[in-house]
Amino acid sequence: MGTVSELCASSFQAFLCPTVRAGTPAAASVPDDLSPEEQQELESIRCRKKELLLDIQRLKDEIEEVTSEIENLGVTEQRKSMQRSKQMAMGRKKFNMDHTKGIRFLIDSSLLKNTSEDIAKFLYKGEGLNKTAIGDYLGERDDFNIKVLHAFLELHEFTDLNLVQALRQFLWSFRLPGEAQKIDRMMEAFAQRYCHCNPGVFQSTDTCYVLSFAVIMLNTSLHNPNVKDKPSVQRFTAMNRGINDGGDLPEDLLRVSSLIGRRSKMLASFQNKTMNSNKREKFDLLVQNKGSRRKA
C-alpha cells in the first residue's frame, strides 16, 4: 500500500484518464483507503472537471454558432451587394430612357435618397448615365429639379478659373438640352455659381450670364462648318460692350474670353450635337433677348 500522496496522485490520474471496466459503472470509484477529507477533495475535483467540460462544450457550441452566422452574413451581404448592383444598373438604364421614371425607381429601391443633394451627386458622378438625359433632367422647371440643378453646380469648383475654363468644366458633365428655356435656367444657375466662386470678376450675375452665352455662341460659330461669317476678336469685343450693368468689361477679359473660346472645340461640340437649325434659331433669339434686356 502506498503513501497518501501516492494514492492521491493515482486517483488524480484515474480522474484524468478514467478506465471503465467491464461490468462496472462508468463513474470512477473512490479508493477506500482515502481519508474522508481526501475523498471529499477528490469528489470536488471530479465535479469541477464536469463543470469545466460543460463550459468547454458550451464555448465550442457558441463558437460554431458565431462562425456559422459570420459565414451566412458574408454570403447575405454579398447577395445584397449583387442585388444592389443589378438594381442600380437597371435604374441607370431607366434614367437614360426616361429620367423622371429612372430617378423614381432608384428612390423607391432605396438606392437614392429623395433629396436634391443625393440626386445631384448621382448625376455629377454620371457613371453609366447618358449626358443628354442628365441635361434634360437638370433643365426641367419643376422646383425640385431646380434645387437639384443648384446642388449639382455646388459640386463644381470654379474658384480662380476664368469663365471659359469654368464653362468647359460645367458643360463636360452633361449635354445642354435643345429647349431654349432649359438652357436659360441652366446658364442662370451657372452664372450664380461662378460669381459666388469668383466675387468681384463681374458686377452682377447678369453680366456673367450674357458673356457666357456670348462665348458659347462664338465657339459654336467658329467650329460650325455651316457658319461662313466667323466673328473676329474685335467683333466679339464690340458685341459685348455695355453688358456690365451698362458699362464695359475690361478689354483684357473680353480678349481672353474670345481667344480661349476660339480654342475650345468642346463647347461647340455640345451645341452642334444638341441643336438642329430650328432649335438654334430659338437659342440665338433667346440670347439676343437676354442681352438686350440686360443692356437696357
150-164 pLDDT, tens per residue? Answer: 999 999 999 999 998
Cell of 154: 455646388
The CATH 1.10.220.20 portion of the chain extends over 62-144
Q: Which amino acid is at 19?
A: T
**pLDDT tens per residue, range 188-234:** 999 999 999 999 888 889 999 988 888 888 877 777 778 778 777 78
Residues annotated catalytic, as ranges: 179
Longest Cα–Cα distance of the chain, Å, equals 126
Higher per-residue confidence, 159 vs 250: 159
Q: Give the model's pLDDT for residue 219.
A: 78
Q: Give the model's pLDDT for residue 289.
A: 56
The CATH 1.10.1000.11 portion of the chain extends over 156-293
Give me the CATH topology for the region 156-293.
Arf Nucleotide-binding Site Opener; domain 2 (1.10.1000)
Rounded to two decimals, the pTM is 0.65
Cell of 58: 458550451
Cell of 178: 435643345
- Quick one: how far is CA 92 from the chain centroid? 13
Q: Give the model's pLDDT for residue 267.
A: 52
**pLDDT tens per residue, range 102-124:** 999 999 999 999 999 999 999 99
Element (H, E) at 237: helix 233-239
The residue with cell 450675375 is 205
Alpha carbons 28 and 21: distance in angstroms, whole number: 10
230-248: average pLDDT: 81
3-class SS at 244?
Answer: strand
CATH of domain 62-144: 1.10.220.20
Given a contact cutoff of 8 angstroms between Cβ atoms, the answer to whether 215 and 164 are in contact is yes
Higher per-residue confidence, 168 vs 228: 168
Q: Give the model's pLDDT for residue 138.
A: 96
Concatenating the DSSP letter of every residue in 77-122 gives HHHHHHHHHHHHHHHHHHHHH-HHHHHHHHHHTTSS-SSHHHHHHH
pLDDT band for position 296 (50/70/90)? very low
Exposure string over 24-36, b if 16+ CB within 10 A, otherwise e: eeeeeeeeeebee
**pLDDT tens per residue, range 257-290:** 766 655 555 454 444 444 444 444 544 555 455 5
Higher per-residue confidence, 135 vs 15: 135
Higher per-residue confidence, 12 vs 106: 106
Q: Inform me whether the pLDDT recorded for 294 exceeds 70.
A: no
How far, in Å, are 168, 222, 229 from residue 265 at the CA level? Answer: 10, 9, 17
Alpha carbons 157 and 209: distance in angstroms, whole number: 17
